[in-house]
Structure 1
Amino acid sequence: MEAGNPSRRKRKLEEAPAAAAERGAHGLEPPLRMGEGEEGGAAAADRISDLPDPILADIVSLLPTKDGVRTQILASRWRHLWRSASLNLDCDGLDGLYYYLTEDDDRALAALIPRLLSAHPGPGRRFCVPACYLRSRSAAVDAWLRSPTLDGLHELEFCDVQAFEPTRPLPPLSALPASAFRFSATLRVATIRACHLPDSTAQTLHFPQLKKLALVDVVLSETWLHSMIAGCPALECLLIHTTSGVRRIRINSLSLRSIGVRVGCQRTNELQLQELIIENAPCLERLLCLNLLDGLQVSVTSAPKFQTIACVSDRRDFSTSLMIGCDAVIQGLHLDRLTVAVCTVKILAVDLFMFDLDTVIALMRCFPCLEKLYLESVPGGNNLWRRKHRDLIKCFDIRLKTLGLGSYRGIKSEVDFVTFFILNAKVLELMIVQVRPQDYYRGFAAKESRKLKFENRASKGAQIHFTTDTCLRGVSEINDACDLDLTDPFITRC
């Protein structure tokens, strides 16, 4: 790009929401009138505009920021709705905003945010700005958060957009502005990223309506985190992602339903998380360990509704250790102790070095009521089972209804592995087999179905779905507190 010419991304940012808010219907392409277009007719009716203003305002507040502002040019009926709707100011959804900001984009975005805040009377619904601004523009962020437009804010996020080159050293973290805590009475969703959370704020933490909290790349203490959990009586989803400064976390919460933990942090001079203890969580249903590179000791003392586990793994010697009460101890994928089967667990996602049937059978013995099993693996191993598990087949009740397999290639060890479930899982409803695009070809599904003896399946109502689409969500793709709120977080679409 020639010197002096504005970047394409900067032009997009400068043409985005604030310009539309200031110009109204001037300077933008007029939209098609209702009834115009290839399939429309003069008699076509604008039924959406007939909806009451409060409903239309809710619709506008849920649109991406740029689209919400542009509703003002649709028709005179819509002109006032953006200002009467709760403000959705989400920088992460603006055209041209990517993971790294150039210097020009940085200036353009920083100028755009206050223009939007001044153009809208409030109240605020969602406010999302780059986390790097907590360091580079801390005074501006504090001023934005104090804007009356954001009064009553429901969602606050500092998103993962960087204003520095990835090869530069990590900058020091700044403290979260005190103004961020002024929304404590109304905040429902919060993603706090790339900042320091000082102990001086711990005693005042009280968020009565907060349901989803993500702490990403933050430095905090055990005191701060435990005070935060205690101060959120409605908290349902907690994501602790690459945080530092804390070695042990104890969970005591009457409301938490989902916990996601990713260990590891680039700030190696800080304490790293080593131990997670679920002491008392009567509503906890899902516990997701989201990475495989660092050992994490997890113990569950009291969680009577515990249903979903991810991700135990056998890929590293220091993989996650899971202890459930005094009944079961799992080191990686090896069952070290089983006193009493854990019958509450219905969904399990595991990462195997190879599709190993012996390992999976041991896990099914530990979790005999398992209904959904998701496996990610690399090919290899030997899964001959007909003689070895002949007695097991006669007495073991496989209750699986859904089986998801990632990175399937159709080699013999995989065929033997899958055939075991096809011929023995009597209540199986769906098998999702995700195939790499380079391994898929015309006739692949028919050929594999024959190899897998699908016509002889134990469950006559079972279906098998071969796909190159990303139907299955790997644990590494769960990076948002909202992902934790899904009944089954490991399946997207098919």
Structure 2
Amino acid sequence: MEPPGRSSKRRRSDSGELEAGESSPVAAEATEVPNPHPATPPSPSSPPSDEGGGGGGGVDHISGLPDAILGEIIALLSTRDAARVQTLASRWRHIWRAAPLNLDSRELLDADEALAGAVSRILADHPGPGLRFCIPSHIVRDRPAAVDAWLRSPALDSLQELDFCLDRSCWSRRELPASTFRFAATLRVATFSELDLLDAKVEALHFPQLTHLALQDVSMAKGSLHTMISSSSCPVLECLLLDNCYGCRRLRISSNSLRSIAVGVDMHIGKPRLKEVTIVNAPCLERFLHIKIDEPVNVSVIVAPKLETLGCLNDEIDSSRLVFGTTVLQGFLVVSLTTVVRSVKILALKSLYIKLDTVIGLMKCFPCLEKLYIKAEQRIGGVVNIGISLNALISISRQ
């Protein structure tokens, strides 16, 4: 690939495509970095040669591919690399503009002002449609007008992935720009971090194609959260992450499409945080993960016949309560065992001290278990991960 640092005159002589006086691509200039390993660019105008065989001897197979396939390849590249392919020849600039735009601002410049300029130039230079747009959440707080203008750009029409990523701690939050919701009909993946989601806007939304939703350090009311993840609002939602969601203490989930749920809560004084999750009806749910076990979240499972992966249970004093019908677990302690859970095959545990009898007793609730993961924290040492043979445990439990 031609390094952007080389002069336009040198590029014209190498590629034979750029006309005299033609300026370098705007997006390539915005993401320009030195390349310590210069390489001679291929010549798209030349047909692939069979000399050398096996891809050697200067054979250029890539340039012989149709523009449609090259566009798919460019759409999978990082933002920086996709923009830099334009320096190869004028044909590549046309292909970059024709390919769906994958714009991740974290790959551009560090300073906010320079980053904002680079994003604006790329959006102005690309006609769309949009594939993915990623912007740090603090930019929404610091430059709301600029973010709103970016989201209204034609380059992001029909956007499929939107990521307001968690980049730095924002003590002050902002409401999502109104232009965010123009993508509701096309979004497949969405991440909202360190933002406020207000009832009036969220409750009227419908995401017919959304399969992955992540809410991180988000403030939203109970009604808004229920509405957003409901089958009526997200009929094909498969993966849900709720990490530090505030404003809702009790969540009831009914979804015919959800396959994976992950919940995590940090300790924050004075903020209403998620304390209880009830799986009312989730016929396709396969995984439920409690990703931050220092703050307990009580979980009740009413209908989830395909639930195979469960974690992470812990045996600390303020451990979470897990309820399957009328079977109740408090940490590793089996409070009530009326029915066994045969669907669970993978279980993750965290313990200060490993007690084999306790683990064996816990396994009676999950008789079809195939994999067991235990993370042991010793007060006088570090963290110890222990793998235990289920065959050995089953043999001991039968003695």
Same fold (TM over 0.5): yes
**1:74: how far off?**
3.1
Structure 1 residues 234, 423: CA separation in 2 closer, same or farther (over 3 Å shift)?
closer
Using a 3 Å threshold, how does the CA distance of structure 1 residues 18 and 379 change in structure 2: closer, same or farther? farther
Match of 1:260 in 2: 262
Instruction: Look up the match of 1:397.
Output: none
Cα 1:380–1:421 shift into 2, 3 Å: farther
Tell me the distance in 2 between the aligned counterparts of 1:380 and 1:89. Answer: 45
Q: Which among 82, 85, 99 is matched to residue 71 of structure 1?
A: 85
1:6-405 residue pairs with structure 2 within 5 A? 19-21=26-28, 31-33=39-41, 43-94=57-108, 97=110, 105-162=111-168, 171-230=171-230, 231-264=233-266, 266=268, 268-314=269-315, 316-326=316-326, 328-379=327-378
Equivalent residue of 2:229, what SS? helix
Q: Secondary structure at the residue paired with 1:79?
A: helix
- Give the residue type in structure 1 aligned to 2:384: S
Question: Displacement, 1:317?
Answer: 1.4
Cα deviations by residue, 1:144-199 (Å, 9 ceiling, x for unpaired): 1111110000000011223xxx6xxx532111111111001100000001111111
Q: Give the share of equivalent positions with the same residue, in percent.
A: 48
- Aligned 8 A contact 2:25 2:93 in 1: no
Q: Cα distance, 1:366 vs. partner?
A: 0.9
SS in structure 2 of the partner of residue 114 of structure 1: helix
Instruction: Give deviations 1:322-355, integer Å, cap 9, x for gaps.
Output: 10112x2111121111112110001111111123
Contact 1:243 1:265 in 2 (8 A): no
The letter for the 2-side match of 1:66 is R
Q: Secondary structure at the residue paired with 1:55?
A: helix
Q: How far apart are residue 81 of structure 1 and its match?
A: 1.5
Separation of aligned partners in 2, 1:153 and 1:368? 45
Secondary structure, aligned partner of 2:252: strand
- Quote how far apart the aligned CAs of 1:223 are: 0.7
Tell me by how many angstroms 1:24 deviates.
Answer: 11
Identify the residue that residue 470 of structure 1 maps to in structure 2. Answer: none
Query: Is the 8 Å Cα contact of residues 355 and 380 (structure 1) preserved in structure 2?
Result: no
Equivalent of 2:384, from 407, 410, 414?
Answer: 407
Shift of 1:295: 2.0
Measured at CA, do residues 312 and 178 of structure 1 come closer, stay the same or move farther in structure 2, by a change above 3 Å? Answer: same
Q: SS at 2:263's partner residue?
A: strand
Task: Single out whichever of 349-358 and 189-198 deviates more from structure 2.
Answer: 349-358
Q: CA RMSD in A?
A: 2.9
Query: SS of the counterpart of 1:288?
Result: strand
Which amino acid counterpart does residue 114 of structure 2 have in structure 1?
A
- Structure 1 residue 18, shift from structure 2 partner: 7.3
Structure 2 runs not aligned, ≥5 long = 1-23, 43-48
3-state SS of the aligned residue for 1:80? helix
Q: 1:159 is aligned with what amino acid?
A: C
Aligned to 2:219, the other structure's residue is in SS state coil
The amino acid of 1:360's aligned partner reads: V
Aligned-partner SS, 1:210: coil
Distance verdict in 2 for CA 1:41–1:63, change over 3 Å: closer
Q: Distance in 1 between matches of 2:208 and 2:55?
A: 51
When normalised by structure 2's length, the TM-score is: 0.82
Report the Cα distance in structure 1 between the residues aligned to 2:393 and 2:345, rounded to whole angstroms.
Answer: 18
**Matched AA of 1:271:** P
User: How far, CA to CA, are the matches of 2:95 and 2:356 in structure 1?
Assistant: 59
Mind listing any 5+ residue stretches in structure 1 that lack a counterpart? 1-16, 98-104, 382-405, 409-413, 427-494
* Range with greater deviation from structure 2 (50-59 or 367-376): 50-59
In the alignment, the residues of structure 2 paired with residue 373 and residue 44 of structure 1 have an alpha-carbon distance, to the nearest angstrom, of 52
CA distance in 1, matches of 2:28, 2:41: 21
1:41 to partner: Cα distance: 8.5
How many residue pairs end up in the alignment?
357
Q: Quick check: 2:267–2:295 contact (8 Å CA) kept in 1? A: no
Equivalent-residue separation in structure 2 for 1:206 and 1:24 (angstroms) = 35
- The CA deviation string for residues 32-83 of structure 1, in whole angstroms up to 9 with x for no partner, is 2459xxxx99734222222222221111111110011111123454332111
Q: How big is the shift at 1:407? A: 2.4
Query: Could you tell me how far apart the structure 2 residues matched to 1:305 and 1:258 are?
Result: 11
Asked if structure 2 preserves the Cα contact closer than 8 Å seen for 1:158 and 1:192, the reply is: yes
1:426-481 alpha-carbon deviations (Å, 9 max, x no partner): 9xxxxxxxxxxxxxxxxxxxxxxxxxxxxxxxxxxxxxxxxxxxxxxxxxxxxxxx
Cα separation, 1, equivalents of 2:175 and 2:313? 34
Q: Does the aligned pair in 2 maintain the 1:22–1:119 contact within 8 Å? A: no
CA contact (8 A) 2:31 2:80 kept: no
Q: 1:353 to 1:41 in 2, by over 3 A?
A: closer
Give me the whole-angstrom Cα distance separating, in 1, the residues matched to 2:162 and 2:30: 28
TM-score, with length taken from structure 1: 0.67
